[in-house]
Structure 1
Amino acid sequence: MATGLRQRKKAETREKIISCAIQLFKEHGYEASRIEDIAEAANLSAATFYNYFGSKADMLLASILTETEMIIEAVDACISRPHTDLETAFSEIVTIYFTKSFQLTSREMWREALARTMLDPEAEFSCRYTEIDQRLRIQLRRFMNDMQERGAILPDVNCSALGDLLFNNVNINFIEIMRSKDRPSGEACQKVMSESAPVFELCKKISV
């Protein structure tokens, strides 16, 4: 019982630190937010903070991972429904990508994270960031395979390649959103769907 209570308290403290860090990053920016500020906001000492996170970059990654888990969960719920129309289902997924992103985090935080992966691609931070992308990519591949089994995609289409192609397009538009200060997410969703439309047509017209 005591061990379970300790673990629960540690998990609650960790979540509180992440929540405070996200708020400070959004209010003051990533660079201006100090570890001491995050610890103070969470009613902890800086020494206690380091029991949970090794650096401010770790906090940034934890913030992004928290938001990404929400996205993955929402997409899983979408995929589990019995869709029959590929474009309609994909549109729902794209909407989740762009509406649930930046709910907890900010565009600046994502820009900072992406910049870190470019500057030091072999660092642990970069590897963990890449893992996020891979999980989302695999999820979209699985969705395409499911839709093929339901007859929405012709049987000779390589669904893993199709999922990768569509995911890469989502990623490019996500980066454009990150770069923009106030570009509406809805506009990015429309652009993804417009650019994906020819691919969906080919999936329907390829001879078998």
Structure 2
Amino acid sequence: MAGLRQRKKAAAQKRIIDCAALMFREQGYEATRIEDIAEAAELSVTTFYNYFGSKADMLLATVVAETETVIAAVDDVIGAEHRCLQTAFAAIAKVYFTLSFQYTSREMWRMAVARTMLDPEAEFSRRYIDIDQQLSDQFCMFLAQMQKRDLLRAGVETEPFGRLLFNNVNLNFLEFMRSPELDASAVRAKVVAESAPVFALIETRNAAH
């Protein structure tokens, strides 16, 4: 019985997130009301608040859902066979700038980032920071795995270089998020080009490009 209740709760939560993401994209975050989301999800407003404490929490849930998809896809890239660091990294960059904004929108990301700045101590902000840390940690894990496969020179400290790579990706992601006219493929190419000098320093000399 407990398992059934959990499955029903998870299904209702996903339904709310799906409805909210669609309405945020189509109507905009500010114009979307909690009452509208609850109605679309076929729930009462009271039931909605059993799952999410505010519209900001709902916004974060949509961002987190998309980010979890990105994390899983990057895990797949890390686990695949690669001939050199740069091609592996290019595959990761492709995930970031292909899967992001499939479920959310640039406006939703801008609102999420703004919320963390306006209220850094809120639960919403702490959860956002946690997911950002997961993404950064994943880059460190990526380099550690590549080092085990002899694509990264022995002795290179994977954590500082992993943070460096993530910070560059994140900076370009924020630029992409702020500027609707930017093209995803162009930003991805920029990320890869900017990271190339780092890989020239740390990859093994026998890596095939």
Q: TM-score range by the shorter chain?
A: over 0.9
Equivalent residue, structure 1, for 2:39: 40
Give the CA deviation at 1:156: 2.5
Q: Which runs of structure 2 are paired with 1:65-144 in the superposition (5 Å)?
A: 65-144=64-143
Q: Identity percentage over the alignment? A: 58
Q: Which runs of structure 2 are paired with 1:54-69 in the superposition (5 Å)?
A: 54-69=53-68
The runs of at least 4 aligned residues of structure 1 exceeding 4 Å deviation read: none
What letter corresponds to residue 199 of structure 2 in structure 1?
A: F
| Alignment coverage as a number of residue pairs | 205
Q: Is the 8 A contact 1:84 1:150 kept in 2?
A: no
After TM superposition, the score normalised by the length of structure 2 is 0.94
Give the CA deviation at 1:205: 8.0
After superposition, give the CA deviation of every residue in 1:73-104 in whole Å (9 maximum; x if it has no partner). 11111111132310000000010011110010
When structure 1 is superposed on structure 2, of 70-79 and 114-123 the one drifting more is 114-123
Structure 2 portions without partners, runs of 5+: none
Return the alpha-carbon distance in structure 2 between the equivalents of residues 204 and 111 of structure 1. Answer: 35
Q: Is the 8 A contact 1:35 1:56 kept in 2?
A: yes
Return the alpha-carbon distance in structure 1 between the equivalents of residues 202 and 146 of structure 2. Answer: 11
What letter corresponds to residue 34 of structure 2 in structure 1?
A: I
After superposition, give the CA deviation of every residue in 1:7-32 in whole Å (9 maximum; x if it has no partner). 21111111000000000000011011
After TM superposition, the score normalised by the length of structure 1 is 0.95
Return the alpha-carbon distance in structure 2 between the equivalents of residues 35 and 182 of structure 1. Answer: 30
Structure 1 portions without partners, runs of 5+: none
After superposition, give the CA deviation of every residue in 1:150-171 in whole Å (9 maximum; x if it has no partner). 1111113211111100000000
Return the alpha-carbon distance in structure 2 between the equivalents of residues 65 and 9 of structure 1. Answer: 20
Equivalent residue, structure 1, for 2:152: 153
**Cα RMSD after superposing both structures:** 1.3
